């Protein structure tokens, strides 16, 4: 196969809502480029992109797919991404390496919640966007209303480049405002029949053509001068203006299509080649040292792994984009994350599950390789001899939904952990964590749909049934006043026994706390606890009541109790302890005796020191359309939220609130339900606050009942 130069390559991501036609458009593009002999369909379960069993069963994309096609002596790499927001990580990864995004919009339903989600990712990635209003062959399609919605949501720079003459059943004709021609397509696609714009459309076309020229010229002073001089721009000048405007996100062209019937696809490919930026036109990517990479094929190889997948008969596949130099089979590279050397043993171009072996890949191109030993998604690989810094880390959204999981059959526990770890490698938005505090294996995700996908794979591919539960909340226990307690541990069972008696005082830790005056402090151990807060241990024993060698054992007993607090078994924090008296036995006293005595004395004192339970509170930022604000506010109030303020961001209203983590368990699902998917939120840990008395009483009762069940 021909090795394509950087200027002959285009990299586009197909993004947008579910059912907007991304996979169908990819299929149509492959057919136009003669990569396939017939177009498959989602309904017939035979598309090139959606080939995995889960995608065939659900009839929607779950993973992004790498595809490629040819048009006008150019190679177009296509990244078909899932439409559901739970799989936003796939879209983010695709936009990292795409030079432009083709945003598919359903011509029947217009701008949907998932359209907005995809748009936000293009903003974060600073990626050029071309809108394609699809499914214009349906009776319910309304091009004008969809355009109005696009402008309303995304601004007036959404600019019509094509419009349909006969949308609805029988749709086959568009007016192209760059060519200023009428294009009539045959059923099944192919090159259109080009003719002059009919008189009935001339006035409308000329008006929209003028708007297009003005918007295209705005991105460049030289083009603006030409427009002022000539009152128009040539086709090539318009294409240059569109390219510059796309790169700076000052113009968002609107095209139209029916991907199912191949109508408009040929012209979309033409637009991608002639108006979308090539890798050479894009803003250079910087590595961690600030060095820019401008897709120079003469430089040393540098590539970025944007996706990891496990494919049948291939094993683990690493998808990458080459940012510098050329890459050949047998090339040695170094992973900048860990310094490990890797060998590129094979190079592939992929069309879904179909692969073609190639010998060389040049800067700007996207390809895949296999059998890398220790390479993760978002790793940078550099030439083993030249070296260099890695590219900056990709920001992924924080998890919004957490669930505790365990294997239904305990013999599968180890296998479950291994499989989930592998899933994280292929999708970094799946975060796996074993909570020692909660004694739970917790999976942190974007939503329930992502969880159901994990369950499908576990059941169908790995034959593991799992049980899920709500994650335990990491409460903290502390005290509010001073209390004394003592405890004598005495055990006699023949021979040497056990004896230890400890008298202690506890008080809350605050900065510059006041030490007691009724006994001296002879030694202090200060501990910053791994879970936050402090334990300060003072030895105040005089007269040899407790030998100094037993003090570490008492401290160990206290730490064990801090590790599993007396109220709910949660971590305790911010406590000052004074051991001021006790008793020993010349024979029976030992470390275990004083550890147990200290532990029990601490528990008694804790319960008498005005104990309180602290809960994690998060800063929550909720964005929603204005007309849904009342429902969102009502729901937040029911979650013990403290509203901190409200403001507008674009078309949406934003509520800033502090909400206890215990109340956020199902929020991603509920918010989606009450806002029809248009509400979004972020959450970030803020602080621990005391729980209300009724909540504390409930937690104490639940803990006591759990202990009774264990007994």
pLDDT in tens, 72-83: 999 999 999 999
Pairing mode of beta strands 100-106, 129-134: parallel
Using the predicted structure, report yes or no on whether residue 711 has a pLDDT greater than 80.
Answer: no
Q: Kindly state the average pLDDT of the residues 278-284.
A: 91
In the block, which residue shows the tokens 């300060």? Answer: 536
pLDDT of residue 136: 97
Q: How far apart are CA 150 and CA 252, in angstroms?
A: 10
The CATH code that applies to domain 285-383 is: 2.40.30.10
Calculate mean pLDDT across residues 374-378. Answer: 94
What pTM value is reported for the model? 0.90
Where are the strands (E) in 492-593, listed by range? 498-508, 523-528, 534-539, 571-572, 575-583
Q: Where in the chain is the domain with CATH 3.30.70.870?
A: 401-469
Q: What are phi and psi of 286, to 5 degrees?
A: -105, 145
Rounded to the nearest integer, the mean pLDDT of the chain is 94
Q: Among candidates 367, 364, 161, which has minimal Cα distance to 278?
A: 364
Give start-end residues of each CATH 3.30.230.10 domain in the chain: 477-610
Residue 494: the pLDDT is 66
Domain 401-469: state its class.
alpha beta
Provide the total of helices (H) and of strands (E) in the chain, helices listed first: 16, 38
- Residue 321, strand partner residues: 304, 366
Confidence of residue 187 (pLDDT cuts 50, 70, 90): confident
Decide yes or no: CATH 3.40.50.150 for domain 614-694.
Answer: no
DSSP for residue 227: H
**Percent of the chain's residues with pLDDT above 70:** 99
> Strand, coil or helix: what is 494?
coil
Q: Does domain 8-281 have CATH number 3.40.50.720?
A: no
Q: What is the pLDDT of residues 421-444, one digit of tens each?
A: 999 999 999 999 999 888 999 999
Average pLDDT over residues 362-388: 94
Q: List, in sequence order, the alpha helices (H) in 485-569.
A: 551-563
Q: What is the mean pLDDT of residues 479-502?
A: 90
Residue 311 has a pLDDT of 81
pLDDT band at 406 (very low <50, low <70, confident <90, very high): very high
221 pLDDT tier (thresholds 50, 70, 90): confident
Q: Is residue 710 pLDDT above 70, yes or no? A: no
Q: Cβ contacts of residue 524 below 8 Å, gap of 6+?
A: 536, 537, 538, 539
Per-residue pLDDT, 379: 96
Q: In which band, very low, low, confident or very high, does the pLDDT at 660 lie, cut at 50, 70 and 90?
A: very high
- Looking at residue 637, its pLDDT comes to 96
What percentage of the chain carries pLDDT values higher than 90?
87
The stretch 664-671 carries a mean pLDDT of 94
- pLDDT for residue 520 is more than 80: yes
Q: Are 259 and 21 contacting, i.e. CB atoms less than 8 angstroms apart? A: yes
Q: What is the CA radius of gyration of the chain?
A: 32
pLDDT for residue 24 is more than 90 = yes
Identify which of 155, 192, 159 has the alpha carbon closest to the alpha carbon of residue 178. 159
φ/ψ bin of 455: left (φ > 0), alpha (ψ from -120 to 50), beta (otherwise): alpha
| Token duo for residue 72 | 């006008």
**What's the CA angle centered on 592, arms 524 and 520, to 5 degrees?**
25
Check whether 493 has a pLDDT greater than 90.
no
Choose which CATH entry (3.30.2130.10, 3.50.50.60, 3.90.550.10, 3.30.230.10) describes domain 477-610. Answer: 3.30.230.10
> Does residue 691 register a pLDDT over 70?
yes
- pLDDT higher than 70, residue 186: yes
Q: Are strands 431-435 and 440-445 parallel, antiparallel or unpaired?
A: antiparallel
**Buried-state track 659-673, b at ≥16 Cβ within 10 A, e below 16:** bbbbbbbebbebbbe
**Closest Cα to residue 49, out of 365, 354, 450?**
354
Whole-number Å distance between alpha carbons of 353 and 514: 70
pLDDT given for residue 674 in this prediction? 96
Using alpha carbons, select from 471, 393, 403, 467 the residue that is nearest to residue 431. Answer: 403
């Amino acid at each position: 196969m021909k090795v394509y130069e950087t200027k002959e390559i285009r990299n586009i991501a197909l993004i947008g809502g579910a059912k907007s036609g991304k996979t169908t458009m990819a299929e149509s593009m492959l057919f136009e480029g003669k990569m396939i002999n017939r177009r498959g369909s989602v309904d017939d379960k035979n598309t090139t992109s959606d080939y995995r069993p889960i995608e065939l069963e659900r009839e929607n994309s779950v993973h992004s797919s790498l595809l490629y096609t040819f048009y006008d002596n150019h190679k177009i790499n296509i990244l078909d991404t899932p439409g559901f927001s739970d799989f936003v990580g796939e879209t983010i990864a695709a936009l990292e390496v795409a030079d432009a995004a083709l945003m598919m919009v359903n011509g029947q339903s217009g701008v949907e919640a998932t359209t907005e989600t995809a748009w936000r990712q293009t903003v974060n990635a600073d990626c050029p966007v071309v809108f394609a209003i699809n499914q214009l062959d349906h009776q319910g399609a309304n091009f004008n209303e969809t355009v109005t919605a696009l402008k309303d949501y995304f601004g007036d720079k959404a600019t019509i480049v094509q419009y349909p003459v006969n949308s609805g059943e029988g749709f086959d004709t568009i007016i192209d405002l760059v060519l200023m021609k009428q294009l009539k397509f045959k059923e099944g696609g192919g090159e259109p029949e080009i003719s002059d714009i009919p008189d009935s459309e001339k006035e409308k076309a000329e008006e929209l053509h003028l708007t297009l020229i003005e918007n295209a010229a705005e991105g460049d002073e030289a083009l603006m001068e030409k427009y002022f001089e000539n009152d128009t721009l040539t086709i090539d000048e318009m294409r240059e203006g569109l390219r510059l405007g796309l790169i700076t996100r000052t113009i968002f062209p609107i095209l139209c299509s029916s991907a199912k019937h191949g109508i408009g696809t040929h012209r979309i490919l033409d637009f991608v080649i002639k108006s979308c930026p090539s890798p050479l036109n894009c803003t250079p990517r910087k590595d961690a040292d600030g060095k820019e990479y401008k897709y120079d094929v003469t430089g040393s190889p540098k590539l970025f792994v944007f996706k990891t997948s496990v494919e049948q008969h291939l094993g683990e596949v690493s998808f990458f984009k080459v940012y510098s130099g050329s890459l050949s089979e047998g090339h040695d590279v170094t992973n900048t994350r860990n310094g490990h050397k890797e060998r590129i043993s094979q190079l592939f171009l992929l069309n879904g599950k179909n692969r073609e072996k190639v010998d060389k890949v040049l800067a700007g191109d996207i390809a895949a390789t296999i059998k890398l030993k220790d390479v993760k998604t978002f790793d940078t690989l550099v030439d083993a001899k030249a070296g260099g810094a890695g590219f900056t880390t990709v920001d992924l959204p924080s998890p919004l939904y957490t669930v505790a999981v365990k294997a239904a059959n305990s013999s599968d526990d180890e296998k479950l952990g291994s499989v989930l770890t592998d899933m994280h490698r292929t999708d970094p938005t799946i975060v796996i964590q074993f909570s020692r505090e909660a004694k739970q294996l917790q999976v942190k995700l974007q939503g329930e749909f992502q969880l159901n996908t994990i369950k499908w794979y576990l059941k169908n591919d790995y034959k593991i049934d799992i049980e899920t539960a709500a994650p335990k909340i990491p409460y903290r226990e502390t005290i509010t006043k001073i209390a004394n307690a003592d405890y004598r541990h005495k055990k006699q069972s023949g021979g040497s026994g056990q004896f230890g008696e400890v008298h202690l005082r506890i008080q809350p830790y605050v900065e510059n706390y006041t030490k007691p005056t009724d006994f001296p402090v002879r030694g202090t151990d200060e501990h910053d606890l791994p879970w936050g807060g402090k334990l300060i241990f003072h030895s105040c024993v005089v007269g040899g009541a407790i030998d100094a060698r037993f003090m570490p054992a008492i401290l160990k007993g206290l730490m064990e109790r801090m590790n599993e607090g007396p109220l709910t078994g949660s971590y305790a924090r911010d406590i000052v302890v004074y051991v001021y008296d006790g008793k020993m036995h010349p024979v029976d006293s030992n470390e275990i005796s004083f550890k147990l005595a200290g532990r029990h004395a601490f528990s008694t004192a804790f319960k008498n020191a005005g104990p309180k339970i602290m809960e994690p509170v998060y800063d929550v930022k909720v964005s929603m359309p204005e007309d849904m604000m009342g429902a969102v506010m009502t729901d937040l109030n029911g979650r013990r939220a403290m509203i901190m303020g409200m403001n507008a961001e674009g078309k949406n209203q934003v509520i800033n609130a502090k909400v206890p983590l215990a109340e956020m368990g199902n929020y991603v699902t509920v918010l989606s339900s009450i806002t029809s998917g248009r509400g979004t939120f972020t959450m970030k840990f803020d602080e621990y606050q005391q729980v209300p008395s009724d909540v504390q009483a409930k937690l104490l009762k639940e803990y006591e009942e759990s202990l009774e069940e264990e007994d």
